[in-house]
Amino acid sequence: MFNALSQLPTANAQRSVAAARVNDVCASVSFYFGYWFSHWRA
């Protein structure tokens, strides 16, 4: 029981890090496409 509970924060931390990485990649991609699109229209 104690082992299962002690492993939960680690799994949550790993999920948070993974979510942050995915969010960072999405932000970079959206910024790149927005930059490219604005220059392509002009």
Distance between CA atoms of residues 21 and 6, nearest Å: 24
Residue 4's pLDDT band, with cuts at 50, 70 and 90, is low
Distance between CA atoms of residues 13 and 7, nearest Å: 10
At 40 the pLDDT is 84
**Length of the chain, please?**
42
pLDDT at residue 42 greater than cutoff 70: no
pLDDT at residue 30 greater than cutoff 80: yes
Q: Is 24 exposed, middle or buried (0-12, 13-18, 19+ CB in 10 A)?
A: exposed
More confident residue, 28 or 40: 28
Distance between CA atoms of residues 23 and 26, nearest Å: 5
Distance between CA atoms of residues 22 and 30, nearest Å: 12
pLDDT at residue 5 greater than cutoff 70: no
